[in-house]
Structure 1
Amino acid sequence: MPAAARFLALGQSALVLWALFALVHAWLGILNLMGPGQPFGDVLVVYPFWVERGLNEGQWVGIDTSWVYPLLALVPMLAAYAAGPEWYGVAWLVMVSSLNAAAYLALLGARPRVPGARAAIAAGWMLFLLLLGPVALGRIDAVTVALAVTAVVLVRDHPRWAGALLAAGAWVKVWPAAVLVAALIAVRRRLAVLIGALAVSLAVVAVGLALGAGGALFSAVVEQSARGLQVESPAATPWLWAAVAAPGVARVEYDPALLTFQVVGPGTDLVAALTTPALALVVIVVAVLGVVAARRGIDEALLLPVLALALVMSLVLVNKVGSPQLASWVVVPVILGLLLQGRGGDSFLVPAILALAIAGSTQLVYPVLYDRLLALDPALVLVLTVRNLLYAALWGWALVRLAGTLRLARRSNPYDARMTVEGASS
């Protein structure tokens, strides 16, 4: 067997792919527990604080008080606490790695030799996690990414389960709702997706109300809207450069209530106030474009990943929050696109490459060199600017491809439709 063929066969070995999974997760675990820059701060300090406040004082966030996360985010935080406060970090890493393993198994299947395309997607996901760094496991977002990856693997064959998983993810942190909306618009079996999502949502609301949550159930939306412009957000980039050029014009300040660094300067309050309605408007417009494309009969394998990518990137780009973990969301619609479009998904290699670049540039900024960013080192501000431009490029790619579907006139031949879209956006 030629050397190239042996290498390809090795890359399709389930044993090799699981070894890759173990090595990447072990490395990320070490970085979180012992790496520089305190990347595990939220898990070791903030999450246990919320849990202990409930256990010791009876004041549960999301139930007795408003909270920045939806109610279901308490579940993984409580689960990690089951091993005791001294083992919280290790328990968190085991829990998140287990969820990722379930998603990885859904992607690879239970077989000794994995089909080439799925093997490449799995290896690419591990490379993405490696480039993103410790934040890939060290935030609540890791739970939602694992749920969402499992959902997009299952969405065509098991849409009800996909809807349930995406709804569960959205009740942990809102962003998986973007993928859920895309599925409800583009998937032919959308009723099954809706049933799964409604079942989970009604269960969460019922439990929340039974626990006395009341209005706190939906407080995450209000809490997020009260934020200023976070340092890493794309909208904050002009003020970062203004602070570099003229420190008296703009500056970086710490918000102790929200535990984030924000930019302050002329116009920042106005832009922060406008960001929330602008985000809602953009999401509505993108969703309407998706509805129009679906009504024109565009094949779901073509429409679903592009629409999901456009909606997810809208949440990332048109957002006053720019935390590094937002970069972890990007991989979900990219995996979806590579899975559904198959050979015709060669075009999804572009967002795949952009996603890897986004992950790598994000880790350059956080956690190791984050102090230099806060000190307004021009080199770090430049890296962050490039990362935000990569966000914009990925969003633009998705919008161009989505707009291309609207120019399709033929409904009966998905192959012709695909070729027309690729020609229109090339």
Structure 2
Amino acid sequence: MTNRVLLWAAFALVHLFVGALGFLLPNEPMGDVYRVYEPWSRAVFSGGGIVGVTQDWVYPHLALLPMLLAHLPGALVGSYTVGWAILVTAVDGVAFAVLIGAGRSRGRLTAAVFWLAAIVALGPVGMYRIDGVSVPLAILGCLWLLRRPGIAGALLAAATWIKIWPAALIGAAVVAVRRRSVIIGAGALVSALILGIVVAAGGADHALGFVSGQTGRGLQVEAPVSAVYLWGALLGADGWTVDYDQGILTFQVTGPLLSVVSALMTPALVLAAAAVVAIGVVKIRRKVPFVRLFPALGLALTTVLIVVNKVGSPQFQTWLFAIVVFGLVVDRRRWMAPGILVLVSAALTQLVYPVLYNGIVSPEIVAVSVLTLRNLALAVLMVWMVVRLCRLPARSIP
């Protein structure tokens, strides 16, 4: 059989397996789909309001589109949750087809195998979250940056209006791509169109609600910065606990100086990202080639978004997949080791959620230790990419 046939067979099996795991593993890893995505989207049809338009929303506005579209396959199979899995699989399939191409490039084949392995390693939380829609769009955007920068910019902008993380890839692209004006223009056009629709629908007061809604959040239990508080709760320190926030539907930590730490995280994230971008600017001025600069800068920025963040949901691991896929396409030898670390981090994340999650919300030594190892892996990856970025030689040959 040809490489393409084998890869497509693997693609089908992986998505069937991971989709089924959502119904088999504990702690409802597909729960967000039917608990929040379905009610939000049904409210649009029933006249119950439009999130992001009639009220502030935690997600950027375009995130509502896949939630609405999932009703189409959902109606055919009689389950919105299964319909969501079908939708994510279909979008993945488009990006997968572009990625493998004719099935002859070793780099593309390696990248395809990595992506499938990453989907399995992370498990159902990667499929049954809105992030699962943004990843294939980001992969397409990365693959088309040089040959179709306008389309790439539009796709990355659309992905950002679904979940904010692809902004890291846009930032890396603006630094590393010569035709950056095309990328900026396409992204601005998509953004203007989305905001124009929101304002025309009467949602001007809520146009940036997803930004303001993040700044006031506490420390989510899985975030790396929460590790000290989580260990304090595990050891029974007075006032160190894990509590459920009904407003944003997530577990957060409590403890001394929490408000100070929480307030410092947003400026720390901005400063860290700005520092990485500054390194990228220095490197592009020294004529470092795109295929060396963009993936290193993109992964450095993406890991900063995860590590220096007071939110740490398990699906954030999907953010790493797109840029590693691109790295493997253009230079599989240099990107094999980072790819392996991403797979390890994803597998540890699946152990944390959904498998051991009860031991996180009611802290137990095994679960907290696994989460700590996962966070250490992410920190190592971030430092590794920043060091790699700093060491990129001027006028190097890819």
2:289 to 279, 283, 299: 299
1-structure distance, mates of 2:138, 2:158: 9
1:214 to 204, 214, 230: 204
2-structure distance, mates of 1:399, 1:215: 38
1:129 to 101, 119, 130: 119
2-structure distance, mates of 1:227, 1:94: 32
Matched AA of 1:257: G
1:75 paired to 2:65: yes
Tell me the equivalent position of 1:5: none
| 1:247 CA drift (Å) | 4.2
Q: Can you list the C-alpha shifts for 1:362-408, whole angstroms capped at 9, x where unaligned?
A: 00111122112212111110000000000001100111011123xx4
1:276 to 266, 269, 276: 266
1:92 paired to 2:92: no
1:172 paired to 2:162: yes
| 1:338 CA drift (Å) | 1.6
Unpaired runs of 5+ in structure 2? Answer: none
Q: Can you list the C-alpha shifts for 1:298-323, whole angstroms capped at 9, x where unaligned?
A: 11111100110111111101111110
Tell me the equivalent position of 1:227: 217
2-structure distance, mates of 1:93, 1:194: 32
SS at 2:251 equivalent: strand
Question: How large is the Cα RMSD of the aligned pairs?
Answer: 1.6
8 A contact 1:232–1:321 mirrored in 2 = yes
2-structure distance, mates of 1:295, 1:370: 46
The correspondence of residues 179-198 of structure 1 with structure 2, limited to 5 A, is 179-198=169-188
8 A contact 1:33–1:89 mirrored in 2 = no
8 A contact 1:37–1:369 mirrored in 2 = no
Say how many residue pairs are matched. 396
Matched AA of 1:386: L
| 1:86 CA drift (Å) | 4.9
1:105 paired to 2:97: yes
State TM-score, norm by structure 2. 0.96
1-structure distance, mates of 2:325, 2:46: 42
Q: Can you list the C-alpha shifts for 1:247-266, whole angstroms capped at 9, x where unaligned?
A: 42411000000000001011
8 A contact 1:286–1:311 mirrored in 2 = yes
2-structure distance, mates of 1:195, 1:265: 45
| 1:80 CA drift (Å) | 1.1
1:374 paired to 2:361: yes
2-structure distance, mates of 1:190, 1:183: 7
Tell me the equivalent position of 1:318: 308
1-structure distance, mates of 2:90, 2:139: 13
Identify the range of structure 1 (320-329 vs 367-376) with the bigger mean alpha-carbon deviation: 367-376
1:350 to 333, 337, 345: 337
Identify the range of structure 1 (386-395 vs 79-88) with the bigger mean alpha-carbon deviation: 79-88
SS at 1:414 equivalent: coil
Greater Cα radius of gyration, structure 1 or 2: 1
State TM-score, norm by structure 1. 0.90
> Which gives a bigger RCO, structure 1 or 2 (Cα 8 Å, sep 6+)?
2
The correspondence of residues 39-78 of structure 1 with structure 2, limited to 5 A, is 39-78=29-68
Tell me the equivalent position of 2:396: 414
